[in-house]
A = this chain, B = another copy of it.
Amino acid sequence: MRALLGSGGFRTEERRQLYNDEMRRHFGDIKRILFIPYALHDHEAYTNLMTERGLNAGYEIDGIHRHADPAKAIREAEAISVGGGNTFRLIADLHRLDLVDLIRDRVINDDLPYMGVSAGTNVACPTMQTTNDMPITQPSSFKAIGLVPFQVNAHYYAGSIWVKHEEEFVEHFGETRDDRIREFHEMNETPVVGLWEAGFIRVENDQFELIGAQARIFRKGCDPYDVEPGCRLVELG
């Protein structure tokens, strides 16, 4: 089983380079990737944007919405990539179209390589409950594909946030990301990997390697700790 799970925030030249290098290493010598654009509203525009923004690593990006039978498209795919956007919208569509178990089956049993970024990483986890997104639609279930035995919090950052008000930085007093993950552990047991922007987790069966950025590991009842890129993430199963 092989998955490449990105945090998002691939907005600088250096980050896009890493993104493309990792994507090529992950998918190897194939031509076409089946792309799931359900996290954004305009599926066709999103699919085209991946190539226009140079986030296709030379592969042909084939939007699943172009197929009359999305389940058949997944059954026939050589590789699958799930893009970012709103995780509630993405998981609602995956459940509505009955694709969650099918994707898990193909990735786990047929070695179909999976790539997810941001929302696409959230849905690779046991549930989508560590998303940062707004619940713009109510999915039938928060259960997700479950390729890994931990949750990822994408676009992770530590500490407070600041906003600019008339060119001055003003501290924002909403919950920090660590507050939110602590609250997650008041109601759930699964470990959470807070993955900084530009980072990836390379998954090969039960091996998890951190690439490109730091991560902070949160386990219920334990102090969180930071992991440097290049390290293996252990004891997350």
Query: Which residues of A are at the interface with B, using a C-beta cutoff of 8 A?
Result: 8-9, 11, 41, 85-86, 88-89, 128-138, 141-142, 155, 157-164, 169, 172-175, 180-181, 183-184, 186-188, 197
Set B41, B130, B159, B175: member contacting A163, Cβ < 8 A:
B159
A9: chain B residues at CB < 8 Å are 172-174
- The answer on a CB contact under 8 Å between A172 and B197 is yes
Q: How many copies does the complex hold?
A: 2
CB distance from A65 to the nearest CB of B (A): 15
Taken together as a complex, chains A and B put the C-alpha atoms of A181 and B137 apart, in Å, by: 12
Further 12 A-B residue pairs, CB within 8 A, beyond A129-B135, A133-B175, A134-B183: A9-B173, A41-B183, A128-B135, A131-B135, A132-B174, A132-B175, A133-B180, A136-B183, A136-B186, A159-B163, A162-B163, A172-B197
A89: chain B residues at CB < 8 Å are 183, 187
A137: chain B residues at CB < 8 Å are 129, 187
Taken together as a complex, chains A and B put the C-alpha atoms of A221 and B172 apart, in Å, by: 28
CB distance from A131 to the nearest CB of B (A): 7
Answer whether A174 and B8 are a contact pair too, CB < 8 Å, given A163-B159, A163-B161, A183-B41.
yes
Write the chain B residue with the least CB distance to A198. Answer: B173
Q: Secondary structure at chain A's binding surface: helix, strand, loop or mixed?
A: loop
A11: chain B residues at CB < 8 Å are 173
CB distance from A49 to the nearest CB of B (A): 15
- The answer on a CB contact under 8 Å between A155 and B142 is no
CB distance from A16 to the nearest CB of B (A): 12
- The answer on a CB contact under 8 Å between B161 and A172 is yes
A174: chain B residues at CB < 8 Å are 8-9, 132, 155, 197
- The answer on a CB contact under 8 Å between A136 and B132 is no
- The answer on a CB contact under 8 Å between B173 and A134 is no
- The answer on a CB contact under 8 Å between A41 and B186 is yes
- The answer on a CB contact under 8 Å between A129 and B136 is yes
Taken together as a complex, chains A and B put the C-alpha atoms of A155 and B41 apart, in Å, by: 25
A161: chain B residues at CB < 8 Å are 161-163, 172
Set B129, B136, B159, B175: member contacting A184, Cβ < 8 A:
B136
For the complex of A and B, list the 6 residue pairs with the smallest distance between their C-beta atoms, beginning with the closest: A9-B173, A155-B174, A157-B163, A134-B180, A161-B161, A41-B186
A86: chain B residues at CB < 8 Å are 180, 183
